[in-house]
Structure 1
Amino acid sequence: MLGHADAKRWVVHPPQDPYGDGYVYTIVTQLFDDGMIASTSAKMDGVFAGSQATTLSAFVQTLADDWRGWDGIRTWRALDHELALDARHDGRGHVSLGVTLRASVPSWDDTAWSARVVFVVEAGEEMTRLAVDLRQALRP
């Protein structure tokens, strides 16, 4: 999904509908960096999310659409916080995109493990490509 085979990478697998009703999807997602491998299953909004910015792909699309920049940090979290993204624009054409994975435990359990990798993404074409890839990968 993001990164290179021999360096840090973020991989998002196709969504699954564990209950068969379209309300909640789960995705397996992985981070790889400098010998570290982290993997979790994240719960995502289903049919009620629609095209709102609450979806992961819509969040990344807003980052791509705002390629000229923004102030502060933008964040997105999966339903139980097993996957979280934070994005900061440097004002010079690059976005620092932090991807955090967390154990699949209730969000109130603050003893769970977490792993974070930061990717520097070109704010224009590279972010747009990531948004398109995510939209395609996350189709139920």
Structure 2
Amino acid sequence: MASPDSDLDDERSVTIRCQDNSSVGVTFCDRFSFDADSVHYAVELRAPGLSARVNEVVAWIWDGDLTTFLEELAADYRGWDGERSWQTNDRDLTVSAVFRSGGYVGLTWTSRPWPHAAGGWGASVTTWLEAGEQMTSLAAEVRNFLTGGQP
């Protein structure tokens, strides 16, 4: 389940925990912006035996929006066939979604910083959430994080 977290510096973050295994999760944190055209943030993936972090994922205002993708998944709470996916313009963060019976959405979060560099790396984790309220809540929390709380 997604949950906004605050540390002593009052920095915003969003943590998505897998409903099936709470030790599997994704955290969006360390948001900053140089200008009005983009938002930069870190993404941390974790699972038993895995800890990976990409320090600077960039969301451009003209890119397809992650929150729009999540909102569309939440709106289709009755399910869909196949896999849906979204990625950043730089392809350093990809999210794939599948629907399983019982009303659950599997989100596979894949980080591949510097995807064209020699010796690059990649890591993935899958979080399972309820298709309705948990997906709607996740979309709202990610939107709040990416916009810095601005409407």
**Alignment TM-score, normalising by the size of structure 1:** 0.83
Alignment of 1:96-111 (within 5 A): 96-103=106-113, 105=114, 107-109=115-117, 111=119
Equivalent residue number for residue 44 of structure 1: 59
Q: Pick closer, same or farther for the CA change 1:123–1:110 going to 2, 3 Å.
A: farther
Distance (Å, rounded) in 2 between the aligned partners of 1:43 and 1:110: 21
SS of 1:138 mapped into structure 2: helix
**How far does the alpha carbon of each residue in 1:81-139 deviate from its partner, in whole angstroms, 9 at most, with x for none?**
11110001124301111001112x2x434741000001111101111111111111111
Which 4+ residue blocks in structure 1 deviate beyond 2 angstroms? Answer: 107-111
Distance (Å, rounded) in 1 between the aligned partners of 2:80 and 2:112: 27
Worse-superposed segment, 6-15 or 67-76: 6-15
Would you say the 8 A contact 2:39–2:146 is kept in 1? no
Distance (Å, rounded) in 2 between the aligned partners of 1:134 and 1:110: 31
**Identity %, equivalent residues:** 28
**How far does the alpha carbon of each residue in 1:45-91 deviate from its partner, in whole angstroms, 9 at most, with x for none?**
12x35xxxx11111111111111111211101012111110001124
Equivalent residue number for residue 82 of structure 1: 92
SS of 2:32 mapped into structure 1: coil
Equivalent residue number for residue 47 of structure 2: 33
Would you say the 8 A contact 2:93–2:112 is kept in 1? yes
**RMSD, aligned CA:** 2.0
Aligned counterpart in structure 2 of residue 70 of structure 1, from 62, 65, 80: 80
SS of 1:7 mapped into structure 2: coil
Distance (Å, rounded) in 1 between the aligned partners of 2:134 and 2:67: 14
**Alignment TM-score, normalising by the size of structure 2:** 0.78
Give the paired residue count. 131
**Bigger strand share:** 2
For structure 1, the 5+ residue unaligned runs are none
